[in-house]
A and B are shown apart, each in its own frame.
Chain A
């Protein structure tokens, strides 16, 4: 059953105004440019992209922590974007967020106990701080501590406990492990997986690390410059990517295996600025696909189903490139 249904989500930031704020606005920054996807109840959708892709904006806008420019966010049948402040407040309990940076996600002036008690009090819930701490694997002694006395992993657990305190059904995990060391990352990922099973949660897992997403996502969606370029069930996207950006992303991930000796696609240039996206396909200036053509420069490829349940936004998605086929100027062999 579909819990979350995002339709044509758009978030534009108005560009700077010239003339000390009185002149006409310059080009707006199209952080999210028409993104649609669904998440079924109890499943995890991994949303992958690099900085500038718009993935964090998607997460925050879905919860209306930032106001969207247009689109619909259907949560359990209700359009979150159409609610007034009061109804939104009530719905907030059911959708929560876990942040990336464990150092700024907790109020430095409040103890762990105060941080966790606040949502319980506001919504008049029955839970206890002790129970929450236990659920995320922290000893009760942590309640009296301040954030600066905790390690990154411990703070992240508190952040998770806080999100869970109001008993949500949907949690947006905004790069929850990116700032953690490898071994701590593993602990927190396992915790998130356990909590999902136990509380039957639905996750939107935002990350830039494809390897991490592999371990928690059922489906994966890839974003580039504000648009969704591919989406597929996890197993398929790693073995049969259809969009050249996905292929490049997969090949760029460093494998902890010196014998891998894989051919790597190294993209040239940087991601273009969201204020001035390229014409046609946003990826075309950096695209290493051998079939790249004039059409890519002119026509925006629509997101269309290539195989059932696997849409991609590429004119040549039916003939996805293999790493070895990428154009010579953009590939580098390693041993």
Chain B
């Protein structure tokens, strides 16, 4: 990759204090990855893997009690450590250089303000535009995100818009200051599949036009297959596999990734039983010892129970790493169950 590194995450740990002696929930437990300018990095995982907490941690949006980011974590944006940035400077980054959109547009938009008002707010705060200028910008943004009749829509309230439109409004809000990084946390999960296609196409186009990097967080492997350049797979608070998208799908190395791909229902497959990963995601207060996936892994052996593997480079595939002992001992890949 010759593009510069925009965001460097190293050893991020975000823990939550739970009530009454259930222990600490180690939601994100040592996550590291890089985000390069102009690329779309997909973070894939299911509930309980820590992907949303990771994204919230980047902008320090994790509620301070009960959560806290441990010292020793590093989140570096263009050379500055976001975790130690004083509050006014952090606010200058949020919404301005790094923006975020969320899953549920209805609860992410304030119902008592017009959409124009909400979109313009970021411009007023960060770029000190006058109300009039900001409103004009808001109309431009609405047009950019493909909302018809933007001059009229700018004065509408969130409840007057459909789900797809609200998501577009959120995108407009996020992009009005032309941020360098857009964090999209499950942006299409709550939308119908045809609207999802529209929104994903919009994000592709905008990324191209504005030259920004996108951190796309989702559990939907189909979405990342078509829209992400590189992928990070998370499980139990850790990164378990990283690769370019074609590599990951062609050669899923970690058994969890393998299981996930096998569990996805496909349109082109004939009607058959789906392969399900046995068991369920463990609780964040009690991660298994050794490799965290071993209780559910069809290939696990003694070493997996005893020692947690580090991220190992997969042979012949630069940039492809997996947290699995099978990388060094591939002959063990024999299904036991």
Contacts and interface: CB of A to CB of B under 8 A. Distances in A.
B263 A50 contact: no
Contact of B225 (A185, A260, A267): A260
A250 B267 contact: yes
B309 interface: no
A260 B226 contact: yes
A217 B192 CA distance: 20
A216 B193 CA distance: 19
Contacts of A215: 265, 269, 271-274
Nearest to B165: A270
Interface string A127-164: 00000000000000000000000011110000000000
Given A51-B192, A186-B277, A270-B195, 8 more contacts: A182-B219, A185-B274, A186-B263, A210-B193, A215-B269, A256-B249, A267-B197, A271-B162
Contacts of A269: 148
Contacts of B225: 254-258, 260
B319 interface: no
Contacts of A183: 46, 259-260, 263, 276-277
Interface in B272-312: 272-277, 280-281
A256 B274 contact: no
Given A183-B46, A186-B274, A252-B194, A258 B265 contact: no
Contacts of B260: 182-183
Contacts of A238: 267-268
Given A151-B280, A208-B192, A215-B265, A189 B274 contact: yes
B221 interface: yes
Contact of A181 (B46, B164, B197): B46
Nearest to A49: B192
B57 interface: no
What 3 A-B pairs come out closest when comparing CB atoms?
A254-B222, A50-B192, A181-B46
Interface in A243-257: 248-257
A114 to B, nearest CB: 24
A183 B246 CA distance: 22
Interface string A208-223: 1111101111000000
Nearest to A252: B197
A234 B266 contact: no
B197 to A, nearest CB: 4
Contact of B193 (A152, A235, A249): A249
A264 interface: yes
Contacts of B259: 183
A209 B221 CA distance: 14
B221 A214 contact: no
Interface of A: 50-51, 151-154, 181-187, 189-190, 193, 208-212, 214-217, 234-235, 238, 248-260, 264-271, 332, 334
Given A183-B259, A252-B197, A209 B46 contact: no
B266 A181 contact: no
A152 B86 CA distance: 40
Interface size class of B (residues with CB under 8 A): 35 or more
Contacts of A249: 193-194
Contacts of B70: none
Contacts of B246: 258-259
Nearest to A153: B280
B223 A182 contact: no
Contact of A186 (B164, B195, B221, B275): B275
A250 B259 CA distance: 24
A210 B195 contact: no
A153 B263 CA distance: 15
Interface in B228-253: 245-246, 249
30 contacts: A50-B192, A151-B280, A181-B47, A181-B281, A182-B263, A183-B260, A183-B277, A186-B274, A187-B276, A190-B274, A190-B276, A211-B265, A211-B267, A214-B265, A215-B271, A238-B267, A238-B268, A249-B193, A254-B226, A255-B225, A255-B226, A256-B222, A259-B246, A260-B226, A264-B201, A267-B194, A267-B198, A268-B198, A270-B195, A332-B201
B192 A181 contact: no
Contacts of B275: 186
Given A182-B46, A266-B198, A267-B198, A214 B263 contact: no
A210 B267 contact: yes
Contacts of B193: 50, 208-210, 249, 252-253
B190 to A, nearest CB: 10
Contacts of B124: none
Contacts of A186: 263, 265, 274-277
B30 interface: no
Contacts of B249: 256-259
Contact of B266 (A252, A256, A265, A267): A256
Contacts of B221: 182, 256
A51 B165 CA distance: 14
A44 to B, nearest CB: 10
A264 B227 CA distance: 13
Contacts of A181: 46-47, 219, 281
Contact of A214 (B195, B222, B223, B271): B271
B61 interface: no
Nearest to B222: A254
